[in-house]
Structure 1
Amino acid sequence: MNPLSGWSYGFRYVTLVNSGEVLNGRFESGMGSAIPPDLQKELDNLTYRTDGPWTLAQTANGTEVFNATMCFISQNLPHKFNVTMPGKAVASEPTFLTELSSLTVLRNDTGVLRQLGVAISPDNTTGRGTLDLEVHSGPDLWMELDGEVSIQSAYLELWVTLVEFSTLGGWSLAGNIAFNDLTTTVIWATHPEHAAMFQKILHETGNPALALQAVMFRVYQMLYYDWLPIFEPTHEVTTINAQNVIVPQQWTGFIIAIAILIMHFILTALTLVLFAKRTQSSLLGNAWQAVSQLVSSETQDIIRAAGSEGMKDRQVEVLARSAGRNREVYALASGVDNGRIELCVR
């Protein structure tokens, strides 16, 4: 019984067969006839043994003829549920496992396998790049019962393909059968991406059920999008978007930084206030105005000496010390004689 829908599982069996080299036949290219394998007499008396989920058939001398196992797939009709799906946004879907231009397998990319829960905990939805699923209520059928035939036909599409599309009613998951070849009329070759996914999961985990589950998941995804035009129910959805921000774990450094910023603001404001109240004359940005303020009766002797003799800064400093002028404090003020703004000794 399906705990979500309350319906019984609709199991269908799928037989997986991995043939040995002794059973491999050959097909001529184009419309040539099939060349069957040369079956030897020792194949009449096979022995069987189990190896995990597989049953191995072999000859008396130990030659492996084929491996076979059986998996069950649960076919269920779609339902409507009230759900919550929290999780992180994913930038893009995983890349393909195959290079479609050459049908070669890209061995290093594991994004698809992680998404399907292979080699990673199925509960690690963040690592898989999927959303968590919390089911709250339901289920309700997404189509009225009078449309059940349409629903069933959608999910019978897979089995019709398996049984009726090819002569033997099976898929080839080998991944190396070319399209439009005569073999595809006998055994339907799956898409290279599905074959690569099946083979990679089977080789890495040794679990045929997990490999087949991944293929069926992808196929049912394709069926869903194929039948999407008749999926018409509409419901309200509430979305909440969140963004990661950095929050300080200790407040000491944060308080110090804020205190420095506040002190900087106070000093800047105080400087502006004092400048506005105490400044009597200011022509900021006018260079000649600043130069004219340097010339006064109290500074002209040093200015003339520096200009006439080509003194450098250090020589002017020595001259000022020898004359006792290095300890004087100068400020801009109105001259006594002419009333102009100039440097005066305070």
Structure 2
Amino acid sequence: MSLLLGWTVSEAPLLCAVGQTILHIRGLRRLGPLGRAALWLLTPALWIFYAFMYREGRKAGGIAAGALSNEIPDHEGPVLSGVAPRRVAPYRPLPLLHRDYTTSDTRDIAYGPDPKFNRLDIWRRPDIPTSQHTPVLVQIHGGGWMIGDNKTQALPLLAAAAEAGWTCVVPRYRLSPRAPWPDHIIDVNSVIAWTKANIATFGGDASFVAITGGSAGGHLTSLAALASSHPDFKPGFEDADTSVQAAVPFYGAYDWTDRDGTQGPTLAEFIARWVVKRSKTEAPDVYERASPRSWIRPDAPPFFVLHGVIDSLLTVEQARAFVNELRATSTSPVVYAELPWAEHAFDLTQSVRTRGVIPPILSFLKTAYEATRD
């Protein structure tokens, strides 16, 4: 409940203001003199608060752009070279709608044996011919390793990336409790291997595959980027290339061991009961290997990490610790945007915060791509 309330206020403050206005008008008709007086005190205070939250959301784009410029001063713009910008917005007017960048030939493509979960969609601008190969962005959905799908998450980012010229691969993967760990990361690596082998047919450049995702998807994004060579995470295709060239995790879980004590016991208890089905005491090696922080290495790919300060599910402190260690070890750029008043899953809709952070993310990805062309 706290997540839902916090998310609604932080990402839809203007909608909250409209709702409060309706309640105010209805209350004036039904309440007595004392109630109306209290309402006149409460409603303006809430209007001021919602205006403050909207203003804070508008700051996110500047914060993300500043973080990018601090780490990579000479970064590229958001639109890929050789891709003509269109005067078409990737979003529909309503915040939950977006333009469709898939076709009947690019939906529900099989990448593995599971007939329900081993499926993916490909997002791509229809006016770009498949002979023009563009870099690939793989988006991994979140949902606590138990729920979620590839049809409802990160839609603003995917639409903007496709419009900027990217070929986007958007998979489903097996979920707990039916699928125990590490089936989730095995499927993610299967997606990457499939992409490297097949994406050229759909117009993608297999030499550059970036990965992004939020929450559990942020965890899987980071783990795939850092532990791509671990054989336990790709049984049966150990020799396949599952490396990625850039990673953009949103509000991820970076340390299942909670080595700094910043996450608290709730996450470990949840993982033990539903995902791993063994406690951290019973299987310490499993938790250690499942932690992206355990795989930090000097040759890690470029990272752009985003996290909300008021995230009520995965603490900002564990994100900071991950970024600090990654920066101390990796020779690649590590961009970190810490967003004030941003809740978990802040990027689900076209909020002012979401629209603000997307251009810096696309600029980061284009910069990483262009660096491989030199």
TM-score range, shorter chain: under 0.3
Q: Which has the larger radius of gyration?
A: 1
TM-score, structure 2 normalization: 0.20
- Larger RCO, structures 1/2 (Cα 8 Å, 6+ apart): 2
TM-score, structure 1 normalization: 0.21
